[in-house]
Amino acid sequence: MKKEKIVEEGYNKIALKYHSERNKFESIVELKQFTNLLIPGAKLLDVGCGAGVPVTKYLVDEGFSVTGIDISEKMLSLAKKHVPKGEFFKIDMSEMDFPDDTFDGIVSFYAIIHLPREKHAPLFKKFQKILKSGGLMMIVLGSDEWEVIDDYFGAKMFWSQHSTEQSIELVKDAGFEIISEEVLERGGEQHYWILAKSKD
């Protein structure tokens, strides 16, 4: 089975359970670092938006125009209920085709870790293209090199990660200037947070 299909079917199966657990993760402090650098009413893309909370909802409540994409239909149905002012589409992040210079900012929390590692570099380059000049990106990646298919809340799930050293180089190579990067622990898990700016 295609690895992305494992992720899609897995999240369709565990949507409600995952939402109730992941919603406990505190990410607003980091999000404020991102939103404080944006212009009012900025146009944002939430990649792997899941059920829309807390990230998409926070961004919409702050007055931003937010588009969310996700691979799971069940997650998106929750997002539409939780964030009626958001705009949501079922799209595989590696296949999105938004026009260049569309967004002022991109966020992706706990989603790229489900994309095969060999697709990370092309994805970061795609992010850079669809961001406006000087646009911002905040992403949450894995902190260790790791790839596995395992049980997750009772469903089969796929993860694929680079080391922090590899990830930061891929982001730089895609045309980003690093603003901040840090390994943080959330819910007993360590993840790599990167805030970066698209080079002019």
With CA atoms as reference, report the closest residue to 180 among 56, 41, 30: 30
pTM across the whole model? 0.93
Identify the CATH number of the domain defined by range 3-198.
3.40.50.150
For 128-194, give the DSSP string. HHHEEEEEEEEEEEESS-EEEEEEETTEEEEEEE--HHHHHHHHHHTTEEEEEEEEEEETTEEEEEE
Q: What is the pLDDT of residues 111-125, one digit of tens each?
A: 999 999 999 999 999
- Domain residue limits, the chain: 3-198
Q: What is the pLDDT of residues 126-177, one digit of tens each?
A: 999 999 999 999 999 999 999 988 888 888 889 899 999 999 999 999 999 9
Determine the pLDDT at residue 25. 54
